[in-house]
Structure 1
């Protein structure tokens, strides 16, 4: 489901793995796929499709932004150095892997508090259900939410990316 998102979403600060403060606005008019990732999850092979999307569309105005999260069954227990090494060595990840965050509860990262207001294809909003929940933000400010079981290379996700790449 598509819905317009308050432009202030692009101005919510978050931390990179190196401790630098960034916002979604720092990525300009790119199509952004924001996803909470984990190294020890049954869905971890989705890293492969995320990286395929990154390689296919990065030079056309797209990037994946991975936010490690340890809130679901402790499936991302490592330090940031361990996470970055795992992503690089195991999956060849070239997209930004940012600082570890909480996505649900009172201590959820501000960006995720805002993202969770987005409805999914069934019209439901609310908590992130598990690792690898995906949010695609388009340059016009629209947000598309895809639940964890929707693979990154699903035609619905690819269509949103391709239809919204900057000219």
Structure 2
């Protein structure tokens, strides 16, 4: 049955819900900052660039920013810094994807520091994926994301 929750999963606390919301909001801020920076490195006005850039995945935006910056003498150092950051960005983006694109069914009864997600992704012969994501890792992603936004803003206009 679709609405059944495994017996080893319990309801989220309000603080756990806050972490989920903060993660999504942080990634929305990153996405906007990446879009603005990509428009800048392409020498486009933000409104004009919005139609083209808005639908790109964040990792593609970041790759395009790095590519554009490394071709400018004044941006080579920023490109190197962003290239080092990219792997961490992608790791934390996976956490955000669980939150935004999976069904949160609660937290682990055995260890409430893990939030449990069901994802429409095949595992094995006839099962769907279930992920247990540490709240601490989400908090780390929020903190890292906030710092990343500051860096992106410094690089933008």
> Shorter-chain-normalised TM-score: which range?
under 0.3
Q: Which has the larger radius of gyration?
A: 2
Larger helix percent: 2
Given the two structures, how large is their TM-score scaled by the length of structure 1? Answer: 0.25
